[in-house]
Amino acid sequence: MSTKELLKTVVKAADDKRAEDIVVLNMQGISFIADYFLICHGNSEKQVQAIAREIKDEANKVGIGVNKMEGFDEAKWVLIDMGNIIAHVFHRDDRSYYNLERLWGDAPIEDVLGELEQ
């Protein structure tokens, strides 16, 4: 599975659990950590956990193992490392505090949700 196909899979997984304000940053040439960052948030700890669990489960279904998942129990900021893609699932109250979109402001935004709706 290509990175772009996996990206669509994990964005759809987040969207299926009603993640809000889904943003995908293209990190290629900007960071050596990953090619893409998926950033989204949920409105409660339970929703954050549901979004993170769905992303992990959908990645596993297509044969992509999750290298690491951190922050699941606290459900304030869950990081899901899938190699070329790192998903950041925030609790609504914590997303604006960390503001990764501003921190990585030079990264172009990918319109993956728009591609899924076509």
DSSP notation for 24-76: EEE-TTT-SS-SEEEEEEESSHHHHHHHHHHHHHHHHHTTPPPSEEESTTT-S
pLDDT score of 8: 93
Reading the chain (118 residues) residue by residue, the pLDDT tens digits are: 788 899 999 999 999 999 999 999 999 989 889 999 999 999 999 999 999 999 999 999 999 989 999 999 999 999 999 999 999 999 998 999 998 888 888 888 888 877 776 5
Would you identify the CATH topology of the domain 3-113? Beta Polymerase; domain 2 (3.30.460)
Please state whether the predicted TM-score (pTM) of the whole model is above 0.85: yes
Domain layout of the chain by residue ranges: 3-113
pLDDT score of 117: 66
How many degrees, rounded to 5, is the angle at CA 96 between CA 13 and CA 74?
60
